[in-house]
Amino acid sequence: MRIKKLSIIGLPMDLGQTRRGVDMGPSAIRYAGVVERLENLHIEIDDLGDIVVGRPRLIENPNSNLKNLELVSKANTMLAQKVDEIVASGSFPLVLGGDHSIAIGTLAGISKHYKSLGVIWYDAHGDLNTEATSPSGNIHGMPLAVSLGLGHPDLTDILDYTPKVKPENVVIIGARSLDEGERELIKEKGIRVFTMHEIDRLGMTRVMEEAIEYLKGRTDGVHLSLDLDGLDPNDAPGVGTPVIGGISYRESHLAMEMLAESEMVTSAEFVEVNPILDERNKTATVAVALMGSLFGEKLL
């Protein structure tokens, strides 16, 4: 799919976890020059700004151990409605986070437009926890499970349908930190996972070839959900939950370049950039560089 028009929408939210600062991610990514970078690729850019989350008073729900459930549900509903409008207009949605719980809203807005949406989850984590399995109650560790229809109805039922994604249409790339409940769910649902072991052993070229081939025949669109903590902390230090031994900067560029060549990606989000924990906006700059590769930027 050759992208001609792209709509950027930010959700500056850090309510899906407890380390503050990731709400400044969309601003950091814009400061790193995302609009200018993509305009250089002759793509028409419509920057729609950010959904207003504000600084709401945090309310604990005594009936749930999910942190900030009502607020996360409300923000994701607003995002889902906006993304729905973007897709309906024929534009490519590029969502800037925010913590990874925003994927709940992104996928809710996108999936209703596809019969069999595929998802590439580029992340150190599986984000497959539920209220029953989560050690922390942080919703940013649950968005993929929610999108599979597993979790609290305030999250799974956004835009009044569930599930958003089928487990056989999901590919996780870069996993190296999985909770016990997530490992069990991966085996139970048969989710395709390329851990760091596979990346080290097979190389990123083979991993991406297999991921692309796996999704190509079974999906009518593919959403890329890229968490910057999928990369090694040496390359992307400004993330809330860094895990050493991650995907390199160059491997990530190769992955994005191969996705660009496949022309299969129909929507994308980049999340978990935390400028408070960063080094001179390095992580946001990496995010923008990867977007360049995803949307067809070449050296020659």
Q: Active-site residues: which are they?
A: 100, 123, 125, 127, 140, 227, 229, 272
Let me know how long the chain is. 300
| DSSP H or E segment with residue 259 | helix 249-262
| Residue 82: strand, helix, or coil | helix
The CA distance from 156 to 213, in Å, is 29
Three-state DSSP class for 123? Answer: coil
- To which residue do tokens 């990606």 refer? 265
DSSP 142-172: -HHHHHTT-S-HHHHTGGG---SS-GGGEEE
All residues at 6 or more sequence positions from 118 whose CB lies less than 8 Å from its CB, including other chains:
169, 170, 171, 215, 218, 219, 221, 222, 223, 264
Question: Which sign, positive or negative, has the C-alpha torsion 103, 106, 112, 116?
Answer: negative
DSSP secondary structure letter of residue 157: T
Are 57 and 1 in contact by the 8 Å Cβ rule? The answer is: no
* Terminal CA-CA length for the chain: 21
C-alpha angle with apex 31: 30 to 35, nearest 5 degrees?
40
